[in-house]
Amino acid sequence: MSMHKRKMSRFATVLTILALVATTMAACSGGGTTGSTESTSEKQDSAEQTQSLTKLSYWVELFPDAAAIMKSYGEVTAWKEIQARTGVQIEFQHPAQGQLGEQFNLMVASNKLPDVVVHSWNSYPGGAQKAIRDKKIIPLNDYLDNAPNLKVLFDSNPEWRKMASTDDGDIIGFPFIRENVTQQVFVGPAIRKDWLDKLKLSSPTTIDEWYTVLKAFKEQDPNGNGAADEIPINIPAGELAFAGAFGTPNDFYQENYTVKYGPIEPGFKEYLATMNRWYVEGLLDKDFATTDSKMKDAKITGNQVGSTVLFLNGGIGKYMDLMKESQPEFKIVGTTYPTLNPGDKTVFGHIDNPVTGIFAAITGSNKNVVETVKFLDFLYSEEGKLIMNFGKEGETYTLVDGQPKYTDAVLNNPDGLPISQAFRKHIMGATSGPFVQDVRHTEQYTTKPEQKEAMGLWSAPTHEKRMPPVSIAVEDSSRYASIMTDINTFKDEMILKFIMGAESLDKFDKYVETLRGLGIEEAIQIQQAALERYNNR
C-alpha cells in the first residue's frame, strides 16, 4: 500500500472514531452535546490527524455580510475548528460578489471542478438530475453507509430525503437542514413602530389600512425633521407579502394540486393597480425598481423608510443594533401579512423548506469520494453540528448545564460588530452549509422581543397553495428555460411599466395574451408534471 493510501485510510479511521465518540458522549450526557474533557487517546487521535492532512477544494458563495469583514470562510472560527478536529485542509473558493450564477455556470462548463461545490444544483442547466447524468456531481445513494449521521436523519425524516433527491431518487448532495419549523420563517413585512406610536396609529392588517398608514407616513412628518422626505414603503416589484394578499403570488402556485401562474390571474391586476396608486401618490419608494441592499441600508438608517420587508436577524436585529446609540427611539417591528378583508386568513408568506435546496455536492472531479463523504458526514454528527452552530468551546460558546451558550465574543462583540456580522465571523449556523441548523442557535440569535414577536406574526400564513421544491424533467429543461427566459423578461418589464404608469392597466388582458403567446400555458403544464412527479417520489 502506498504512503498516500495509508494516510487516507488512517484519516478515514479517525473520522469513524470521531463519529463514534461523538455519538457515545451524546448518549451518555442526554443533552445532545459533547463534553469539554478530552481523554489521552482522543488527544493522540487528534495528533495523528495533524500528521495526515488532506486538502479539499470547496466552492461556495461568500454571503455579502461576511464579505464585508472577511476574504474567505477559512477565517470563520467554526471552519477553523472543523479543520483542526479532522485534519482536513479546506481550500475555499468564492465567486465574486454579485456574480454567483454567472460564475457557477462558467465553472460547471469546465472539465475540472473543485472537489465540493455548494450551490442550488437545480439551477444547473437541466437541473440536478442532468448534472448527475453529465457526471458533474456524484449522487450519494451508494455512499450512505459511509455517511451514518446523514442516513439516520433521512431515515427519521423521509420528507427530508424526498426534498434532497431528484425525481429519479438520486440524492443530490449534503443538504442544509433547518430542524425546526420556527427556523423556516425568517423574513416578512416590517414597520416603524415608533412612527406608528407618534401618529397614534395601529399596525395595519388589511390593504386599506396599509394605505391609511402610508398616507400618514407621507403627510405627517413622523421622522420629525420638517422635510417631506419620508419613504412610506420600500418593497420590490412583485413582493410576495403584498401580491399574496390578492391571492396571486408573482410565481407558480397550486390549488388542490393544480398548478397556476400568478401573474396572469385577475388578482394580479388588482395588485398592480394598488401598487400603481401607491407609486403615483408617492407612497411607494420612487426608486423601488433600482434599490439594492446598500441603498436600502442607507435609507433605513437615514430615518426615511416607514415600512419594508426584512429578515428577522439581518434586518430587524441588525437595524435595531445599528440605531440604538444614534437614535434610541428607533423601533422597527414585524407586522402581519396584509389581507384584502378583515379577518381573512393569510395563505401566502415567506417560508423556507426544511431542506433548503442548497447542497454540498461531491463533483465528478473528486478523487477521494469516500473520504470526502466521511468528512462531510462528520458535520452532521453531534460534534460537527455543535461546531458549525456554536464554534469553539471556551471562545465563542460555553456549556451551561450541558447546553451551548454563546459568549460575548458573539453576543456583545468586542470589535463592535452588529450581532449578524459577529455570527458570520464565528459560526456557520447563521448562514448555510452541509449541516443541521441547531434550534438552540436560533433561540439565542433571535433574542430581541421585536424579533420574537415578528416570528409569531410571520408564522400565520397557511402556505397551503405553495409549490413544493419540484424539479423540471431533463427532457423539458431546455424548452422550459427558453420559455421562462422570455416570460420573465417581458413580465418583469411590464410589471414595472404597470406600477409606474408607463403602461395603462387597460392593457392587462393584452399582456396576458402575450404571455400565452410566449408559452406560459406550456410552462404551467411542465410544472404540473413536475408537481405530480414530486408527489410520487
Distance CA 204, CA 506 (A): 29
Only one residue has cell 433605513, namely 300
Q: What digits encode the pLDDT tens for the residues 239-264?
A: 999 999 999 999 999 999 999 999 99
CB atoms within 10 A of CB 291: 19
Do residues 429 and 384 touch, judged by C-beta distance below 8 A?
no
Grade residue 443 by pLDDT with cuts at 50, 70 and 90: confident
Grade residue 90 by pLDDT with cuts at 50, 70 and 90: very high
Does the structure show a pLDDT above 70 at 23? no
Distance CA 165, CA 385 (A): 22
pLDDT for residue 408: 95
Amino acid identity for residue 368 in this structure: N
Grade residue 180 by pLDDT with cuts at 50, 70 and 90: confident
Q: What digits encode the pLDDT tens for the residues 498-519?
A: 999 999 999 999 999 999 999 9
Grade residue 25 by pLDDT with cuts at 50, 70 and 90: very low
Grade residue 48 by pLDDT with cuts at 50, 70 and 90: very low
Helix 382-390 vs helix 3-29: crossing angle, to nearest 10: 90
3-state SS record for 83-104: HHHHCEEEEEECCCCCCHHHHH
What is the pLDDT averaged over residues 348-357? 94
Do residues 455 and 334 touch, judged by C-beta distance below 8 A?
yes
What is the pLDDT averaged over residues 189-214? 98
Sign of the CA dihedral running 49, 14, 60, 182? negative
Put simply, whether the predicted model's pTM sits higher than 0.85 gets the answer no
**DSSP codes, 389-434:** HH-SBTTTEEEETTEEEE-HHHHT-TT---HHHHHHHH-STTS--S
pLDDT for residue 111: 87
Does the structure show a pLDDT above 70 at 35? no
Does the structure show a pLDDT above 50 at 50? no
What is the pLDDT averaged over residues 407-432? 91
